[in-house]
Structures are given as structure tokens and as C-alpha cells.
Chains A and B, each alone.
Chain A
Amino acid sequence: MFLYEIKKYTGNKAFWLLALLGLVLKAVVSWNALTVRADFPKEIYRDYMDYLEGEPTEEKSDWILAEQARLWEVIGLHDTYEKMYQNGEMTLDEYIEKNEEYTYARAQQSAFDAVFEKYTYFQETDKRVEYFYDLEILQFFKASGGDFVLICFICFAVAMTRELENPADTKKLIRSMPLGRWPFNRCKLTGALLVGALGSLAGSFIDIGIYGYRYAFPYMNMPLNSIARISGIAYEVPVWVMFVLIPVIRLAHGLFITALVFLLAMLIQRFVLTIFAGVVIFSIPPLLADRIPTGLARFFVPNMTVNSWIAPYVLANLAVIPMVYLVCRRLSEKEGFAIPFL
């Protein structure tokens, strides 16, 4: 029975079209999301980090403070030089040279701010940390949040397959059979979860594939705690662990979404309405995620930091699945619409 459930997806040309469209869209979105954008010159930051690479030491701290002082000095002298030039105490050539120094120092200063932020963080933390160039890795974390393409894919795929059985007489025909109620819906739910899981994994593979293609996988063994922006990390793990964990977290979240969309499809029993409801319910919280950092909405947004909440979060996502099975079991015995006004 389960194999036929899978066939309801794989036998459908529209499903393959949807899958292809999803993969292409996901690739485009990920390619963009994984493009590192920084409000300072990346090359300068990279030079700093290459120079500092490794564990923090006294000498590195001294060097950072010295560099800070130097930058301030160069920048601070700018006004003086400008006055000197205006008063004729300096030739144009000299002034141009000083001005170039100043401009470069300003650029360095903006990148150095990020370095200094790291330095401050390293001073405060008691966790094992190392200096390394982390912009791309940070970008990967940012790109791994709420996934609109996956949400749409799941809503369409589940609603599309449910729609095959929505005509009243088809529903009756199936319900008239010995296994046409709960066992039938149980298989359907399991089939949907499998499709949702594959969709989620495919998305993660695309992300990691694009990341690997563009940046290879440097610094994978560095301690994850070194990245200040995703601080609050509770565990001492190397960076690569997150490249394994993120697909797992997203898988749990993908299953969570699929189970709830399945429930929606079963309750609403209308193709367009199911998709609309699903897309709205699951894509609004990620859009508002910055404004509502806590509470129920958090559930609907993949949580991508390995803080101490991550295990409960993943477990809560997974715990919804058996609950959906139970609700579907109750609904399976009922005829027709569970929502009367539809």
C-alpha cells in the first residue's frame, strides 16, 4: 500500500515538474544567499585574519591594540594635514600621499572593527576559540534559515496528491474499503513525510554543494565558538559539526511542516485553499522572525544556532509528528469535511 502512495507522487508528471522547479529555484536562491556581502572590504579583513590565524596569544592581542592605535593615529592626523596643506605648509604631492594613507586607513578601520569585535569577544569568553576567516561560514548559517522554496514545494506536493482523492465519490469509494480509513491515511501521511524529508535533504545538499563549489571547505576543524555572531553556543564543537547538524535540524523542521500541511489538506480538502493556508502559516513567521524572537513563532522558524535550545527545539518539531498521526486517526473515521463551513 505504501508503494502505491509513493506512486501517487512519482507517477504524476506535475510532481516532477514541481520538483524540478523547486530544485532550480532553490539553487538560484541559495547561490544568492551564499554570496558574502560585508559592509567592509572583505580582502582587508581576510588579510587581518590570515595574519592572526590560530589561537589567541599575548602577542596577537598586543598587535591588535597596536594596530588600533596606529589606525587611530593615521585617521586622527588627517585634519592636521588638511590644515597644513591649506596653510601652505605642505606640497600637493605630500598631501595626496597623506590622503591616500588616510583613505586606506579608513578602509582598514572598518574591517578592523570586525577584528576588534572578535578580539573583545575572545577576551571575555572562556571557551576554546581561534582566529580564522569566517565570513563565508557565517553566510552559510544565515542562508540556512526559513526556506520559502521548501515550504511551497511541500504545500504543493501534499495538496496535489490529496486533491486526487478529494472528489466526493473517490473519497467514498476509498472509504468503503476495509483499509480505506485510518490505514489509508496513515500510509498517506507516511508517504508525505518521506517526500517532505527528501525535499528538505535535497535543499540542504544544494546549499552545501553550492558552498563547497564556491568556497571549498576551509577551516572546518576550527572551534565553532570562535564565530561571535552566532554566540550562545553551548557545545565545544568544530565548525564541520554544524554542516552536519544543520541538515538534521532542517530535516526535523521539514517533517514538522509536512505533517502540519498534511493535516491542513485533510481538514480543508481543497487544493487552492490548502496551498494558500500552508504557505501563509509557514512563511509569515520566518519573515517576522527578527521581530518575534520568542514564543510560538519560533517553532515555525528553523533555529540555526547550536545553543542549549537546539535539542528541545528539534525534539519539539519531531514530537508534533506523532501528534498529527493521532489527530489524523481521529479524522479518518469522520465523513466529509471536518471544517463545517467549507
Chain B
Amino acid sequence: MELAVENLQKDYKKKRALDGFSCRIQEGVTILLGPNGAGKSTFMNILADLTPRSGGCVSLDGEDIFSMGKKYRKRLGYLPQSPEFYPFFTGRDILKYFARLKELEKDSYDIDALLKSVHLTSAADRKCGGYSGGMKRRLGIAVAMLGSPDILIMDEPTAGLDPRERLLFKRNIKRMSENRIIIMATHIISDAEDIASRILLLKEGKNIGEGTIDELTQAVISESGQEQVDLDDVYMHWFGEELEMDDVLV
């Protein structure tokens, strides 16, 4: 399986959010890194066929995803950046309802196992209007994973999760990453270090670098001459240059 992105462009009224973005995404966990407003969410929305693009194309194994329509969506799991649910539905209702919307066969998914995998078993029968931010996101993760789709697109799935839940999430992702394309945006470098097969660096709507963690650190080592380089340094190398001490509130 391979998602090929060619020259993708997205223009909002005043803002060019994606500017000739190209990349190839294979099976495994691909992490999008980039500062706020870099275009990560925009990119993922286009990959999930939710936002019309201004130019370029995306194909899955050679087939244009935008003309695949429902066939593509049947293979897709998506988590938006700030999921909201019907407040008077219970967590279990939500999963059952979305299983219908995903057109899943009754015996092809196990809601209890899913709830367990995001630690929501005890809250499953409570109305999700009363869920905390982290619980909502975990429910969103469960919804995305529902029907174990081939392609998982998750926008900041770990934001707001407590350390224990984050660990659990990472374990789940690692277990799922075989034979699947998993694309995640995050601002938490340690998440990327733990689970990324590949990393994509985004800046102002452009792809400014991609590769495994090793490849990226090696590139920074050879460029800057530093000896010890980790992913934090890579990030600061690409995105940290404007940060001055003057910016800090005293």
C-alpha cells in the first residue's frame, strides 16, 4: 500500500496552506511535525477527502482517491483535531452509531474490546457530554480505529492524554502499524521518537524534509557538526531559528 501525494496545493481566501506538497507514504507510522499553522491539519483533511484541494493529486496504489469516493472511505479511519460528539449519547452509543455509518458488519468489530483499548470501559455507559477533554479524544481514537481500517489519519491524537493513556495509545498504534498506513500529527517529540517509522517535516505548507529518525538526525549531524543529536535538536534545527531570548516574557 502506498499513498502518493503529488504537488498538493490548498489555498484559503487569503492564505496558501499547502504549497506544492509532495510525498510518498508507505505502511507504518508516519508522523507529521511542524509548528502551528504549518498545514498539518489541512494536509490530513485533504488526505481524508474532507476538504477540496486547489491543485495536485493523491493516489492510493495508483488510484486517485478523490474519485474512489466511498470505496476509499471504507478503508479510512479519521480522528479530527477537536472531536465533539452527541452529548447525550453514551460512549457505547457513539461507537455503535459510527459503526453503522462506517457500514460495518455486526460481527466485524468488538465494541467492548475497543473501549478497553482506550480505557473507557467504566465510562462507556455514561453520557459523553460529561467526558473530559482527554476522554473525548480517546473516544475519538476508538471511533477512528473502529473496523480496523487500512489507513488511519489522526490529528494530534495524543494531545491532552495523561502519560498513562499516552503510553497505552502508543502501544496500540505500534501493534496496529503493520500492514497499515498510519498518519499522525503531533507536537510531542517523544511520541514521534517512540513510534514513528518515518517523519515528515512541514513548514508553511511545504515538505521540508522526510525520513526515518536516523536519517533526519544524521542529516543534522553532517550539517551542523554537532555530535549528539536527537529529534528535539532536529526540530529546533528546522523550526527553532526564530526563537530569541527577547521573545520570552520576563
Point out residues on A near B: beta carbons under 8 Å.
Answer: 1, 4, 7-8, 11-13, 164, 167-170, 172-180, 184, 335-336
* Segment at the interface with A among B28-36, B73-81, B117-125: B73-81
Is there contact, CB below 8 Å, between A178 and B84?
no
Is there contact, CB below 8 Å, between B89 and A179?
no
Task: Among A4, A8, A170, A179, point to the contact of B83 (Cβ < 8 A).
Answer: A170
Answer whether residue B97 sits at the interface, using C-beta atoms and an 8 A cutoff. Answer: yes
- Chain B residue nearest to A336 (CB atoms) is B51
Instruction: Tell me the smallest distance from the CB of B73 to a CB of chain A, in Å.
Output: 5
CA–CA, A96 and B183, complex, Å: 102
Task: Among A11, A167, A172, A179, point to the contact of B50 (Cβ < 8 A).
Answer: A172
| Given A4-B97, A11-B89, also A177-B73 (CB < 8 A) | yes
Residues of chain B within 8 A of A4, CB atoms compared: 93, 96-97, 100
Is there contact, CB below 8 Å, between A7 and B80?
no
Answer whether residue B143 sits at the interface, using C-beta atoms and an 8 A cutoff. Answer: yes
Is there contact, CB below 8 Å, between A172 and B45?
yes
Task: Among A1, A8, A169, A184, point to the contact of B84 (Cβ < 8 A).
Answer: A169
- Chain B residue nearest to A5 (CB atoms) is B97
Answer whether residue B82 sits at the interface, using C-beta atoms and an 8 A cutoff. Answer: yes
Instruction: Tell me the smallest distance from the CB of A184 to a CB of chain B, in Å.
Output: 6
Answer whether residue B131 sits at the interface, using C-beta atoms and an 8 A cutoff. Answer: no
- Chain B residue nearest to A177 (CB atoms) is B101
Residues of chain B within 8 A of A7, CB atoms compared: 89, 93
Residues of chain B within 8 A of A335, CB atoms compared: 50-52
Residues of chain A within 8 A of B100, CB atoms compared: 1, 4, 179
Instruction: Tell me the smallest distance from the CB of B41 to a CB of chain A, in Å.
Output: 10
Point out residues on B near A: beta carbons under 8 Å.
Answer: 45, 48-52, 70, 73-74, 76, 78-89, 93, 96-98, 100-103, 140, 143
Q: Tell me the total A-B contact number using a CB cutoff of 8 A.
A: 71
| Given A7-B89, A11-B89, A180-B73, also A172-B48 (CB < 8 A) | yes
Residues of chain A within 8 A of B81, CB atoms compared: 169
Is there contact, CB below 8 Å, between A11 and B48?
no
Is there contact, CB below 8 Å, between B83 and A176?
no
Chain B interface, >50% SS class: loop
Instruction: Tell me the smallest distance from the CB of B159 to a CB of chain A, in Å.
Output: 13
Instruction: Tell me the smallest distance from the CB of A136 to a CB of chain B, in Å.
Output: 44
Residues of chain A within 8 A of B85, CB atoms compared: 170
| Given A13-B88, A169-B81, A172-B45, also A178-B50 (CB < 8 A) | no
Cβ contacts A to B, 22 pairs, < 8 Å: A1-B97, A1-B100, A4-B100, A7-B89, A7-B93, A11-B88, A12-B88, A164-B87, A169-B81, A170-B84, A172-B80, A173-B78, A173-B83, A176-B48, A176-B76, A176-B78, A177-B98, A178-B101, A179-B100, A179-B103, A180-B73, A335-B51
Task: Among B74, B82, B86, B89, point to the contact of A169 (Cβ < 8 A).
Answer: B82
CA–CA, A7 and B88, complex, Å: 9
13 more A-B residue pairs beyond the given contacts A11-B88, A170-B85, A176-B76, with a C-beta to C-beta distance below 8 A: A1-B101, A8-B86, A11-B89, A164-B86, A164-B87, A173-B79, A173-B83, A173-B143, A174-B101, A176-B73, A177-B98, A180-B73, A335-B52
CA–CA, A245 and B102, complex, Å: 43
Instruction: Tell me the smallest distance from the CB of A1 to a CB of chain B, in Å.
Output: 5
List of 3 A-B pairs having minimum Cβ-Cβ separation, nearest first: A169-B80, A176-B78, A177-B101
Residues of chain B within 8 A of A164, CB atoms compared: 86-87
CA–CA, A46 and B143, complex, Å: 69
Task: Among B79, B88, B101, point to the contact of A180 (Cβ < 8 A).
Answer: B101
Is there contact, CB below 8 Å, between A184 and B101?
yes
CA–CA, A172 and B153, complex, Å: 12
Task: Among A11, A168, A172, A177, point to the contact of B102 (Cβ < 8 A).
Answer: A177
Residues of chain A within 8 A of B70, CB atoms compared: 178-179
CA–CA, A181 and B76, complex, Å: 14
- Chain B residue nearest to A334 (CB atoms) is B52
- Residue of B80, B140, B143 with most partner-chain A CB within 10 A: B80
- Chain B residue nearest to A11 (CB atoms) is B88
Is there contact, CB below 8 Å, between A179 and B102?
yes
| Given A7-B89, A172-B45, A335-B50, also A179-B84 (CB < 8 A) | no
CA–CA, A64 and B49, complex, Å: 80
CA–CA, A180 and B140, complex, Å: 16
Instruction: Tell me the smallest distance from the CB of B243 to a CB of chain A, in Å.
Output: 30
Residues of chain B within 8 A of A173, CB atoms compared: 78-80, 83, 140, 143
CA–CA, A202 and B152, complex, Å: 47
CA–CA, A172 and B48, complex, Å: 9
Residues of chain A within 8 A of B83, CB atoms compared: 169-170, 173
CA–CA, A263 and B53, complex, Å: 26
Is there contact, CB below 8 Å, between B50 and A176?
yes
- Chain A residue nearest to B97 (CB atoms) is A4
- Chain B residue nearest to A182 (CB atoms) is B70
- Residue of A11, A12, A168, A177 with most partner-chain B CB within 10 A: A177
Residues of chain B within 8 A of A170, CB atoms compared: 80, 83-85
Residues of chain A within 8 A of B50, CB atoms compared: 172, 175-176, 335
CA–CA, A179 and B102, complex, Å: 6
Is there contact, CB below 8 Å, between B74 and A178?
yes
CA–CA, A179 and B45, complex, Å: 17
